[in-house]
Structure 1
Amino acid sequence: MAKKVIRIHNKSDKPDNIVEKENLIIEKCLEMESELPSFMRDFFIYLKNGVAISTRLAYLQDILFFCRYLVSETQLTAATDIKEIRIEEFNKIKARDLNRFLGEYCTRYTIEKPESVMIMENHNRALARKKSSLAVLFKFLYRDEAIKENIAEGLNPIHLPKPQPDAIKRLEIDEVAKMLDVVENGTGFTEKELVYWEKTKRRDKAILTVFVTYGLRLKELQQLNVSSFNFGRGDFKIYRKRGKEVSMPLNQSVEKVIKEYISLERPPEQMISQEHRDALFLSLQKTRLTEKAIRELVKKYTSLALGTNKENGYSPHKLRATAATSLIQYGFSIYDVQNLLDHDNVTTTQLYAAHKKNVKRDIVNSFEWLDEYDKKNSPR
């Protein structure tokens, strides 16, 4: 059967490409909901209206995985199909059953394929997400009076190591300059790579400049459109997590690289299909650049700036960290940087400001009042 053409009747302020992408996620959610037991229907309504669609998808993936485990690995249900699991069986599940699922099964399990066996391992961060998904489900079922006990309260703690500032990977300011020099001049590329670079250098420079200036998330940059930019007003629109529309001011550097890319390298409108005509960053096939392609592009240029191989290049998220630390090094407050990067909690931003401790130490050590400690007055 031929795939139906999707047409968008969009009365919101969101661009069509974002509406279409959200629709794909919603379709995945609906598909998973159709596989899960019917007694979870009210929970699905709660997810639809209560959390971001990406969170809704993540919860449903984890809950579907848990239900598969119940059917295939335990005696907790008589069902042979996930859809057949009954609420009475869920009512008999205890906290220890969830702890065994998280602590024993999820840490390491296998998936058998026709020609291979795949070993799957989950570390604490992934286990914590699965724990969160199950806790939300069982709390809701208890609140909805579908089960008699809130067993989520009995879940074992999962320790997540506190992020260390020294462990945050980012480019130093001189490495950012080197990266932009690479994209400007093609330094370090093979002859074959130079042919491709010549066709995309302005696009690549614009992408990297936007990343290190604003610290955008990968999705936020990938979704940018030509119509997102209002050069007359000197700003552009992005869509954050949970669909927040934000206006970002343009500085001269970003305005220059975007305009140069659009006028000197991006194909004319008539050569681009209607579907991709408004997309800002295009592939050589004249389609919207995918998140995967942008990720590979960033790894390529950062590896050259770092003097390492492509596999050890940085991801777009490391350029987000680079933007944060660079702004703080230039003297902006953590609250200004928090606002720019859309951090939910200022403690996240504070991680990038940790180097300030060393700056304070250097200042104080160089500013002694007692003569015996004053290096400026010590004999040479």
Structure 2
Amino acid sequence: MEPVIVSRRLPENINRIVAQFPEEVQEFFLEMISADRSKQTIANYAYDFSLFFDFLKSRNKTIYQTDPMTIKRFFRHIENGYERTVYVKLKKKDPKTGEINEEWVKRKHFRENSRSGKQRKRASLRSLFRYLVKTHVLERDPMEEYEDATLKSRSRQKVPVFLTREEALRLIEAVYSYHQKKNRKSRDWMEVRDLAIILMFLNTGMRVSELIGLNRNSIQADGDLIRVIIIGKGGKERMLKLNQSAVSALNDYLALRPEEGVPPSDREALFLNKNLQRLSRKGVSEIIKKYVAEANLPPKAANISPHKLRHTLATLLLSNGENLRVVQEILGHSSIQTTQIYTHVINSEKDDALDRLNI
């Protein structure tokens, strides 16, 4: 039986998750859609709530019976990791007719509960219960009472992990060396795609969600300059110039980008995966992981992710003496305090430089 469609503006896999929530919670998602929250933000809320409602079900409780102790037990339950349920559409060929059928299946993935992940889940539930109180579904906010009674963990500001300029160049070179081993007569379209992706990350510092959301018309010519229009958090738009290396790689990719066989829904997507669909966050992470391994980077840089390439641009810009406000605008940070964490990195580099004097 097909699930209820909560909103046609939600991806089909997220609709399947949200459709299982109580009607009052579905209304919360419709409010987020009306407020133009990004698809990734909505998906994150759906995954967080799915964990919470699965926990309530295992305890024979409903959202109306949730109290501070239930919330406390939920966070303890997922403290060291959890299984996330996702819906994946698979194409299966009928052995008798040869017909291709699509089938949705449930997949479970174990995930570590990182510090940022814990903070996000708290923020998600905080938003939900505030909404339920505001709309008179609940009289009291159990999340508020839970947080009042909970010991606050110490705030530890981690220094961002980033690549040095030399390591970034090694990562770029790894794209060439990886594909040279394939002994192809000509460059594969996915090779030039991967190079363009890495150079755009290092050139613009865009988020993964921003990169996979790019369409072909996101690239705009402005005289001799090529700019990319990025839709950031909260639907905020910023336009950044691409340097010559990124422009060259992007042009090479667009010249080879497949046109035939691309589904109508993905025809305008800038970056495609091997199945000719819009590239996903996971797909981008796998691309970066592959070339990080090829580059044989030192231990500190061996777990570089797409987001850490964002850290790399910010750090290199500030190391070059760029204005903090300018870096804030490039990265699309709503608060300059977020950008200021990179100044700690610069200070630590100064400390290292003084230590190396050995006088």
Instruction: Summarize the alignment of residues 251-266 of structure 1 with structure 2, pairs less than 5 Å apart.
Output: 251-263=243-255, 265-266=256-257
Identify the match of residue 56 of structure 1 among 42, 46, 49. 42
Query: Is residue 263–residue 277 contact of structure 2 (8 Å, CA) maintained in 1?
Result: no
Matched, 1:195 2:184: yes
Mapped partners of 1:204, 1:125: distance in 2: 28
Mapped partners of 1:177, 1:255: distance in 2: 17
Q: 1:249 to 1:354 in 2, by over 3 A?
A: same
Query: Is residue 124–residue 159 contact of structure 1 (8 Å, CA) maintained in 2?
Result: no
Larger deviation, residues 129-138 vs 275-284: 275-284
Q: 1:209: Cα distance to partner? A: 1.2
Which secondary structure does the structure 2 equivalent of 1:301 belong to? helix
Mapped partners of 1:283, 1:43: distance in 2: 32
Query: Is residue 300–residue 313 contact of structure 1 (8 Å, CA) maintained in 2?
Result: no
Count, aligned residues: 320
Query: Is residue 108–residue 119 contact of structure 1 (8 Å, CA) maintained in 2?
Result: no
Mapped partners of 1:176, 1:33: distance in 2: 40
Matched, 1:98 2:84: no
Identify the match of residue 133 of structure 1 among 124, 130, 133. 124
Instruction: Summarize the alignment of residues 138-157 of structure 1 with structure 2, pairs less than 5 Å apart.
Output: 138-155=129-146, 156-157=150-151
Which of these two proteins has the greater Rg computed from alpha carbons? 1
Q: Equivalent residue for 1:23?
A: 9
Q: Equivalent residue for 2:32?
A: 47
Q: Equivalent residue for 2:342?
A: 352
Instruction: Summarize the alignment of residues 115-130 of structure 1 with structure 2, pairs less than 5 Å apart.
Output: 122=113, 124-130=115-121
Mapped partners of 2:342, 2:336: distance in 1: 10
Matched, 1:164 2:158: yes
Query: Is residue 215–residue 319 contact of structure 1 (8 Å, CA) maintained in 2?
Result: yes
Query: Is residue 40–residue 209 contact of structure 2 (8 Å, CA) maintained in 1?
Result: no
Query: Is residue 171–residue 322 contact of structure 1 (8 Å, CA) maintained in 2?
Result: yes
Query: Is residue 298–residue 313 contact of structure 1 (8 Å, CA) maintained in 2?
Result: no
Matched, 1:318 2:308: yes
Q: 1:252: Cα distance to partner? A: 2.8
Q: Equivalent residue for 2:21?
A: 36
1:199 aligned partner, one-letter code: D
Q: Equivalent residue for 1:371?
A: none
Q: 1:272 to 1:119 in 2, by over 3 A?
A: closer
More strand per residue: 2
Matched, 1:342 2:332: yes
Instruction: Summarize the alignment of residues 194-233 of structure 1 with structure 2, pairs less than 5 Å apart.
Output: 194-195=183-184, 198-200=187-189, 201-233=191-223
Q: Equivalent residue for 2:241?
A: 249
Q: 1:56: Cα distance to partner? A: 3.2
Q: 1:241: Cα distance to partner? A: 2.3
Q: Equivalent residue for 1:81?
A: none
Q: 1:210: Cα distance to partner? A: 1.0
More helix per residue: 1
Q: 1:315: Cα distance to partner? A: 1.8
Which secondary structure does the structure 1 equivalent of 2:177 belong to? coil
Q: Which runs of 5+ in 2 are unaligned?
A: 3-7, 86-107
Q: 1:328: Cα distance to partner? A: 1.2
Q: 1:71: Cα distance to partner? A: 2.9
Which secondary structure does the structure 2 equivalent of 1:231 belong to? strand
Q: Which runs of 5+ in 1 are unaligned?
A: 3-21, 78-84, 366-374, 376-380
Q: 1:174: Cα distance to partner? A: 0.9
Q: 1:340 to 1:107 in 2, by over 3 A?
A: same
Mapped partners of 2:20, 2:282: distance in 1: 29
1:245 aligned partner, one-letter code: E
Mapped partners of 1:195, 1:97: distance in 2: 58
Which secondary structure does the structure 2 equivalent of 1:35 belong to? coil
Q: 1:119 to 1:158 in 2, by over 3 A?
A: farther
Query: Is residue 195–residue 249 contact of structure 2 (8 Å, CA) maintained in 1?
Result: yes
1:217 aligned partner, one-letter code: R
Over the aligned positions, Cα root-mean-square deviation in angstroms equals: 3.9
Percentage identity across paired residues of the two chains: 27
Q: 1:339: Cα distance to partner? A: 0.9
Matched, 1:240 2:232: yes
Q: TM-score, normalised by structure 1?
A: 0.69
Q: Equivalent residue for 2:169?
A: 177
- Cα deviation per residue 1:178-232 (whole Å; 9 max; x = unaligned)? 222333xx336673x3439932443332222111010111232223333222224
Q: 1:98: Cα distance to partner? A: 1.8
Mapped partners of 1:326, 1:43: distance in 2: 41
Q: 1:54 to 1:289 in 2, by over 3 A?
A: closer
Mapped partners of 2:133, 2:221: distance in 1: 53
Query: Is residue 127–residue 158 contact of structure 1 (8 Å, CA) maintained in 2?
Result: no
